[in-house]
Structure 1
Amino acid sequence: MIPVSTGARVWLATGRTDMRRGFPSLGLQVQEVLRKDPLSGHLFVFRGRRSDLVKVIWHDGQGQCLFTKRLERGRFIWPSPSAMAEDRSSFLRGVSMFMILALPALPAFRHKRPRLSLR
């Protein structure tokens, strides 16, 4: 469990992010693109290209934290950049954050046809 303060917000970076980045370069992206302070105590969430990986950066007042979650199946549901074009970020409430991290979109079930043998 992450002991996030009650005043902390969750900011979602729309679009795709290079997931090879660590806290320093993601923090720089927060400053330059989102126009926020990465050391403010807010959580900043980034999505990978295939939508199966997210990274969350957070400064807890003592140090920098980087959390990663990769899905084995499915992908994370993410707002489109065009929907957030004016801001390039989205503020999330707790329920929305839970929906993104805990309830990913699972791939559609594909029914396999039985093979017919011609014996």
Structure 2
Amino acid sequence: MLYLTAETKILLSIKPVDFRCQIDGLIAVCQREFEENPRSGYLFVFINRSQTMIRILCYESNGYWLATKRLSKGRYASWPSSIKEKSTVLHASDLTKILKDFIVKRDKHV
């Protein structure tokens, strides 16, 4: 369980990420795509291409945390999208809504 406060800094990746890359690959995305230091104190939030999993990367004093949430069925339907932006800053309440009160659209193959 993540505990978020109003002061929690959150950067959400708009573009889906290949989750085979694990921690080192996500660190590279933070540096290359967002031009952010992965040790900056931000929670970096990613989604996979099929929109069934979310990963959160953060650095804490002596190492990285990588949290994953995989939906049992359905897909996230309310992930932000933008042609121009690679990422967006979220408030803790926005991330909480995505993690707990997500909107799930039905799979086409039911």
Q: For residues 85-100 of structure 1, what are the structure 2 equivalents within 5 Å?
A: 85=84, 87-100=85-98
Distance change (3 Å), C-alpha of 1:104 and 1:59: same
1:72 aligns with 2:78: no
Q: Is the 8 A contact 2:5 2:92 kept in 1?
A: no
Distance, in Å, in 1 between the alignment partners of 2:7 and 2:40 is 10
Q: Deviations over 1:68-100 (max 9, x none)?
A: 000012222211132xx1x31100001100111
Where in structure 1 are there 5+ consecutive unaligned residues?
A: 109-119
> Which has the larger strand fraction?
2
Structure 1 stretches of at least 4 aligned residues deviating more than 4 Å after TM superposition? 3-7
Distance change (3 Å), C-alpha of 1:31 and 1:14: same
Match of 1:21 in 2: 21
- When normalised by structure 1's length, the TM-score is 0.79
Identity level (%): 28
Bigger Rg over Cα = 1
Match of 2:48 in 1: 48
Distance, in Å, in 1 between the alignment partners of 2:21 and 2:66 is 10
Distance, in Å, in 1 between the alignment partners of 2:5 and 2:43 is 10
Q: Is the 8 A contact 2:75 2:104 kept in 1?
A: yes
Q: Deviations over 1:17-69 (max 9, x none)?
A: 10111111101110110111101121001100110101110001121110000
Higher relative contact order (CA 8 A, sep 6+): 2
Distance, in Å, in 1 between the alignment partners of 2:9 and 2:100 is 18
- Structure 1 vs Structure 2 CA RMSD: 1.8
- When normalised by structure 2's length, the TM-score is 0.85
Q: Is the 8 A contact 1:74 1:104 kept in 2?
A: no
